[in-house]
Chain A
Amino acid sequence: MTSSGRRWTANLAVIAMIMAGYLLLRFPPSASSFYPRCPVFAWLHLLCPGCGGTRALAELLHGRVAEAIHWNAMVVALSPLAAAFFAVSYWRALRSGAFRWPTVPDSVLKLLLILIGVFTVLRNIPSN
């Protein structure tokens, strides 16, 4: 991909994220029915690690951290890391020269995937 094509794609991705943020602010998932249902929950009736993530993001955008944690603590915890990752990616995409995705150490990735697995198991254990 050329540098101009890469910048165009990066700007398009940012615009899409802003639009998604506006959508979540204007039409919160708790009051709107058009958000797609998680296929894992719909078919298996199990909470996947991302279940409640959209609601959690909507609550975060409204500044309600406690409610966001209630819906999906993992998404809340990972949001700053994901935001930092995409911010660095965007900055690199705007620069000239070859694009490289930011690297994350393998050990950190493995730890995150293990934590997600544990989180998924824990959230599916009945509380009573």
Chain B
Amino acid sequence: MNYFIDRDGQQYGPYTLADLQRYVASGDILLTDFARSEGMDAPLPVSQIIGTIQVPQAPSTAGPVSLARQYPDPPNLHWGLVLLFGIISCGLFTTAWDIVQAVWMRQVAPQSKALFYYLAYAANLVLIAVLSAMASYQRVHNPLVGILNLAGIVVLIIGRFSLKASLEQHYNAEEPMGLLLSGIMTFFFGAVYFQYHFNDIVRRKDFDRMSFIPS
């Protein structure tokens, strides 16, 4: 039987009972989350569904392992380094890393639009630099620069939420890993926040791959 998790108005899944137990153990799904299956009238707390049923772990790893081999791993630079390089480069490295993440997303989910927004943001930055230089050379104030700055921020935020949606879609359907991303963290931390989850995803996939190696 497959289960779906309802959280913040969104639905994630499907998960097997073994998946639910594994994600509860890893903290990705909370016992207080609500879940339902095809045969249930109303959702129930996860705690009531998994109860004390013991499910063998071996079958649950077979699915993710076989799927994990079909898609490339996300970029796995440590999130702390993304933050560090972003800080010392005044955000330029983060802009480049946004594009790296979005390029990978396009590889695993070609319908993802995040790359388009991030490239538009980068192009906007170049345009702002050129206009600023021209205004500075002519010793005038160009009000268009301020408008472009604001537009750039809007495009960047749209890109972040587009990537968030693509990630959640991918890691709850094609490669079910129970990924739930916070809107607030996405808004404020973008690439660094996604990278934190990428590191975790690669760690879990590595673990699955290692545990699948016959002894």
Does A74 lie within 8 Å of B88, measured CB to CB? yes
Does B84 lie within 8 Å of A109, measured CB to CB? yes
Hey, which chain B residues are within 8 Å of A116, CB to CB?
A: 84, 87-88
**Contacts of A42-101 to chain B: CB distance below 8 A:** 48-51, 53-54, 74-75, 78, 82, 85, 100-101
**Closest partner residue, chain A, to B149 (CB atom):** A39
Q: How large is the interface on B (under 10, 10 to 19, 20 to 34, 35 or more residues)?
A: 20 to 34
- Give chain B nearest CB distance to A99 CB in angstroms: 9
CA–CA, A112 to B107, complex, Å? 33
| Overall SS of chain B's interface | helix
Cβ-Cβ contact count across A and B, 8 Å cutoff: 67
Asked if A39 meets B81 with Cβ closer than 8 Å, knowing A33-B136, A34-B133, the reply is no
Does A38 lie within 8 Å of B80, measured CB to CB? no
Q: Does B123 contact A (CB under 8 A)?
A: no
Q: Does A125 contact B (CB under 8 A)?
A: no
Hey, which chain B residues are within 8 Å of A104, CB to CB?
A: 78, 80-81
Hey, which chain B residues are within 8 Å of A8, CB to CB?
A: none
Query: What are the interface flags for A111-124 relative to B under an 8 Å C-beta threshold, 1 for contact and 0 otherwise?
Result: 01100100000000
- Give chain A nearest CB distance to B74 CB in angstroms: 12
Residues of A within 8 A of B (CB): 1, 33-40, 48-51, 53-54, 74-75, 78, 82, 85, 100-101, 103-104, 106, 109-110, 112-113, 116
**Closest partner residue, chain A, to B125 (CB atom):** A36
- Give chain A nearest CB distance to B110 CB in angstroms: 15
Does A50 lie within 8 Å of B87, measured CB to CB? yes
CA–CA, A112 to B88, complex, Å? 11
- Give chain B nearest CB distance to A29 CB in angstroms: 12
Does A75 lie within 8 Å of B88, measured CB to CB? yes
Pick the residue among A38, A82, A112 that contacts B90 (CB under 8 A).
A38
Does A37 lie within 8 Å of B84, measured CB to CB? no
Asked if A36 meets B128 with Cβ closer than 8 Å, knowing A101-B76, A101-B77, A101-B78, the reply is yes
Hey, which chain B residues are within 8 Å of A39, CB to CB?
A: 90-91, 149
Query: What are the interface flags for B137-168 relative to A under an 8 Å C-beta threshold, 1 for contact and 0 otherwise?
Result: 10000000000010000000000000000000
- Give chain A nearest CB distance to B97 CB in angstroms: 12
**Closest partner residue, chain A, to B86 (CB atom):** A50
Q: Does B55 contact A (CB under 8 A)?
A: no
Pick the residue among A33, A35, A48, A112 that contacts B137 (CB under 8 A).
A33
Pick the residue among A35, A38, A113 that contacts B84 (CB under 8 A).
A113
